[in-house]
Amino acid sequence: MAAKTNWYKEAVVYQIYPLSFMDSNNDGMGDICGIISKLDYIKELGATAIWFSPLYASPWKDYGYDISDYKAIHPAFGTMEDFDELIRECHARGLRVMMDAVFNHTSNEHAWFKAALADKTSPYRDYYIIRKGKKDKEGKLIPPTNWTSSFTGPAWERIEGTDEYYLHLFAPEQPDLNWENPKVREEMAGILRFWLEKGVDGFRFDVFNMISKVYPFKDDKNPLHFQKGVQYYVDGPRMHEFLKELNDKALSLYDTYTVGESYTPDEEHAYRYINEESGELDTIFHFEHLAADNIFGLKMIPKPFNLRQFKRGLIDTQLRYHGSGWNTLVLENHDQARCVSRFGIKKKYRYEAATFLAMITYLGWGTPFIYQGQEIGMTNTDFKSRGEMKDPVTHFIFDLAKGLHVPDSVSFRMMKGAARDNARTPMQWDASVNAGFNKGAEPWQCVNPDYKKINVSADLASDKSIYRFYQKLLALRKSEDTLIYGNTIEYYPDDRQVITYSRCYGDKRFLIVGNFSGVRADFIMPSDFELDELSIRMTNLGRSDAEIAEVLHLEPYEAILFEENR
């Protein structure tokens, strides 16, 4: 046990999706030994912590987010001894270890759920949310409410042979836990302590703000709600109480860092979740900027990229929470398509866009999160068929579209660019078979066919190495307190091409400028900066100090970091 510090404020977190990172035993699935073999690569990038998507025992109906044993490692990844070695090897390199805490639901193959269904008198029955169905006007048994799942379809599954249903806000194989039961909360705190005792340094809480529901349950009668029931299970009435309890019983006893993944909370709840005095979470993810190329955050329904929306999402949280909590800076994760394949970016600008996005995002206020492959500019995959896409959500949406009589060709085209599968193809290490992910066994998920050109080996050998750019950027950020702790001030929020903000700390200032478009843009230097006091600290396209002017003609996806010298 150790007193809590703020190490996470100066951290850079690298996310690994274990199934797709590195396959050491050539069985088609990534594993812990494969991860260990690449730790130096992550360390040299400039990361200081690794977040592992679930490594737990699971039937993989949602690839690890359906957990059947919270205190066991999935055999495909290795053994608990392998995990202990992973912690030792990470810590030996100064890398913190973060795990996923998936506490809203378990797998339907968890021993608790099996016991709950096997015996109505079992104490585990109350670990889940089970209710009797009701009758419709024709006398037919229907679910207790009209809520819908995040994975499409009803949020209730009938228990075979009974008139009862269990709640699942995700897949039917992911029954929701009943957090009203104090025994469930004690189980969760105990699970956290188990991993913390092993040396784990922090957790990403999966869909954390859904664990508290509104009782008694009601139908959602709002005809405008695409997903029925959200007002009854997002930011519920006991959310803050439950988080404080986890903190008191587990997290506060160790030097931990927590980040919550959520349905977008309202501002009041978000403030309370991350307020440093609240004793709840250290940070939450903010994804509003990643909805700037789709409708209402529904990634499969694209729209023309809106830079002003992107800027609001990226910068507003930096302005809103500075001084009261801490922020996160995100471009990709296992649920998002590849950033260089989004936002209207054309393939010919892959290097420019990858480095531009890194600069405008990770020079902001908050902890950077980098997803595997992002640092070499991995792209979306040109899937050829539905069979190449493994994510259950992808197939749920295909089935939904078919039920709405959307032609298969149309739904497939929509999903190709938005599917979570794009982030889950094997890591591209080199130009050998299967991109060096393994020695030739068929990977669980198809390899992106562009791997012969886009891979770690090719990138490191290139004059335009995205990895080397990330290295330089992260080292710069680490060397300057202003780029970590400084206030953010935005300029020209309504500009449709250029993103501009400054970071200020004490008597030092930096100005970040970028052209978020595929055509040249004119940029006028803000009036509170003097030209003769500016120098270029970093740029992705090689601009020099001699070119500093009141009006700059920015090339497509050009980004510049100016330092004020007074």
Cβ burial, residue 263 (10 Å; 0-12/13-18/19+): middle
Contact criterion met (CB below 8 Å) for 509 and 561: no
Q: Is the pLDDT of residue 488 over 80?
A: yes
Neighbour count for residue 389 (Cβ, 10 Å) = 24
DSSP string across 41-109: HHHHHT--EEEEPP-EE---SSTTSS-SEEEEE-TTT--HHHHHHHHHHHHHTT-EEEEEE--SB--TT
Q: Are strands 508-515 and 559-564 parallel, antiparallel or unpaired?
A: antiparallel
What is the distance between the alpha carbons of residues 340 and 453, in angstroms, rounded to a whole number? 15
d(CA 565, CA 529): 10
245 is catalytic: no
The span from the CA of 486 to the CA of 470, in Å, is 21
Residue 76: both structure tokens together: 């495909």
Q: Show the CA angle centred on residue 317, arms to residues 555 and 189, nearest 5°.
A: 130
Strand partners, 142: 134
Residue type, 465: S
* Orientation of helix 182-198 relative to helix 239-249, angle to 10°: 40
Q: What is the mean pLDDT of residues 16-42?
A: 98
Q: Flag the least confident range among 93-97, 378-382, 386-390.
A: 386-390
DSSP states of 410-458 as a string? HHHHHHHHH-GGGGTSPP--SSSGGGGSSSSSPPSSPPPGGGGTSSHHH
Instruction: Name the active-site residue from 176, 261, 280, 459.
Output: 261
Whether cis (ω within 30° of 0) applies to the bond prior to 426 is no
From CA 78, how far away is CA 95, in angstroms rounded?
Answer: 20
- 320 class by beta-carbon count within 10 Å (0-12 exposed, 13-18 middle, 19+ buried): middle
pLDDT in tens, 414-424: 889 999 999 99
Indicate the pLDDT class of residue 413, thresholds 50, 70 and 90: confident
pLDDT at 148 over 70: yes
Asked whether the predicted pLDDT for residue 15 surpasses 90, the reply is yes
> Worst-scoring range by mean pLDDT, 20-29, 138-147, 252-261, 397-406?
397-406
- First-to-last C-alpha distance (Å) of the chain: 45
Q: Is 261 a catalytic residue?
A: yes
Q: Indicate the fold that domain 484-564 takes in CATH.
A: Immunoglobulin-like (2.60.40)
pLDDT tens digits, one per residue of 164-220: 999 999 999 999 999 999 999 999 999 999 999 999 999 999 999 999 999 999 999
Helix runs in 322-430, H state only: 350-362, 392-403, 408-418
Query: CB burial class (10 A; 0-12, 13-18, 19+) of residue 524?
Result: middle
The model's pLDDT over 245-298, given as tens digits with 9 standing for 90+, comes to 999 999 999 999 999 999 878 889 999 999 998 999 999 999 999 999 998 788
Fold (CATH) for 7-104+181-382+461-470: TIM Barrel (3.20.20)
CA 116 from centre of chain = 32
Best CA proximity match to 515, nearest among 540, 535, 544? 540
Q: What is the mean pLDDT of the chain?
A: 96
Q: What is the pLDDT of residue 169?
A: 97
Sorted by sequence, the CB contacts under 8 Å of residue 316 that are 6+ apart come out as: 288
316-320, 412-416, 447-451, range with the lowest pLDDT = 412-416
Amino acid code (one letter) for 512: I
Question: How far is residue 149's CA from residue 175's CA, in Å, rounded to a whole number?
Answer: 11
Q: What pLDDT is stored for residue 400 in this prediction?
A: 85
CATH superfamily of 111-167: Oligo-1,6-glucosidase; Domain 2 (3.90.400.10)
pLDDT for residue 217: 97
Residue 43: both structure tokens together: 């360390």
Alpha-carbon separation of residue 264 from 69, 208, 259, 424, 491 (angstroms): 29, 11, 14, 24, 26
**Between these two residues, 190 and 411, which has the higher pLDDT value?**
190
Res 226 pLDDT > 90: no
Q: Give the pLDDT of residue 414.
A: 84
Question: Radius of gyration of the chain from Cα atoms?
Answer: 24
pLDDT at residue 1, as a whole number: 67
Tokens at 338, concatenated: 């590849």
Among 206, 255, 280, 375, which one carries the catalytic annotation?
206
Domain boundaries along the sequence of the chain? 7-104+181-382+461-470, 111-167, 484-564
pLDDT at 30 over 90: yes
Nearest to 38 by CA among 98, 99, 89: 89
* Mean pLDDT value across residues 232-241: 97
Helix (H) or strand (E) holding 312: helix 307-321
Question: What is the spatial distance between Cα 93 and Cα 420, in angstroms, rounded to a whole number?
Answer: 31
Angstrom distances, CA of residue 412 to CA of 300, 388, 416, 420: 10, 11, 6, 13
